[in-house]
Amino acid sequence: MNDYKDFEIHYWFQGELRRFNHKGNHLCESDALHFATLHAGVGAVEGHICAGPLKRALLYAEGLGVTQVQWKRT
């Protein structure tokens, strides 16, 4: 049985609003940050950063130019 859900992720990258869809079992704020940085092509928020405090992951993503990451289930 397929338990995948559809999610829409929005973020800003260098002054440009971007959006993409993601399928997965679940999504959380740190996952959305990880996928947004991958989508922007600037790296990934993963490993110790993603597993650590959310504020640290947010600052790391902002340093890569990815800001205002928001997501919702569609």
Out of 6-15, 23-32, 34-43, 44-53, least confident range: 44-53
Q: What are the extents of the domains in the chain? A: 5-73
41-64 pLDDT, tens per residue? 998 776 655 556 788 888 888 999
Q: What pLDDT is attached to residue 46?
A: 67
Q: Do residues 71 and 10 make contact, with C-beta atoms less than 8 angstroms apart?
A: yes
